[in-house]
Amino acid sequence: MTGLTNLHPSTESISLRLPQYLLARIKELADSKDVPYQSLIKIFLADRVNKELKSSR
């Protein structure tokens, strides 16, 4: 997993609706990794965006 060091320090707040079961599973994963669930979501998104960008080249 990519660390948060690859994310830019300036952030923008957004609202994102997720199914309750998905958010619960993300929170479980975050707890098991001892990280805040919002941080884990940012890591997951950054990893996926990087993967998509690399595959489109």
- Contact by Cβ (8 Å): 8, 46: no
- Contact by Cβ (8 Å): 36, 29: no
**Is the predicted pLDDT of residue 3 greater than 80, yes or no?**
no
The pTM of the full predicted model, rounded to 2 decimals, is 0.78
- Over pLDDT 70: what percentage of the chain? 84
Q: How far is CA 20 from CA 2, 5, 17, 53, in A?
A: 25, 29, 9, 29
Cα–Cα distance measured from residue 17 to residue 36, given in angstroms and rounded to the nearest whole number? 18
**Is the predicted pLDDT of residue 11 greater than 90, yes or no?**
no
Q: Which residue blocks in 1-57 are alpha helix, DSSP H?
A: 20-33, 37-55
Mean pLDDT of 3-10: 64
Amino acid 43: pLDDT: 96
